[in-house]
Amino acid sequence: MTHRITICTSCRHKGNTCRPGYELISRLRAAIADAGDAIAEDFEVSGVACMAGCDRPCTVAYHGSRKATYLFGDIDPEVDIADLVAFARQYAVLGDGWCSSVDRPGKLRTATLARVPAAIMAIEDSGVRAS
């Protein structure tokens, strides 16, 4: 596995005890396995207790070695699976993980909470100082 998709298992919609992260993990694993291409071999899907996106449940992160990390919010396990699988395909072939919001599939264009540069990129660019 060279990539990871991490899903928050603590996220809850306000006034609700349901934690959609568990359902999302199950549905996304099944969708990736059914995709019929290399993403099933390239991606691991796992959960984590909290990613601090509580105001925008359910949160999902994409990580890859030497790649930018993405955090998406407001993900619905019943509606957004196709967009998550499409982004996995896209992310897998992005050398540094970097892409514009207009290039992301469907809802992920507007559901981005953060894009964090790869640590290796930050180290290589450490000579650049913010003013």
Q: Is residue 85 part of a domain?
A: yes
pLDDT at residue 119, rounded to an integer? 80
pLDDT at residue 17, rounded to an integer? 65
Going by C-alpha positions, the residue among 92, 116, 79, 87 that lies closest to residue 104 is 87
Who's near 67: CB < 8 A, 6+ residues apart?
3, 91, 94, 95, 96, 97, 98, 118
Residue 15, amino acid: G
As averages over each run of 10 residues, the pLDDT of the chain (131 residues) reads 90 71 93 87 92 88 95 93 96 93 95 90 51 38
Domains in the chain, number: 1
Q: Is residue 16 part of a domain?
A: yes
Host domain of residue 52: 3-124
pLDDT at residue 39, rounded to an integer? 84
Q: Is residue 129 part of a domain?
A: no
Sheet holding 112-116, edge to edge: 43-48, 3-8, 60-64, 69-72, 112-116
Q: Is residue 131 part of a domain?
A: no
Going by C-alpha positions, the residue among 25, 32, 27 that lies closest to residue 89 is 32
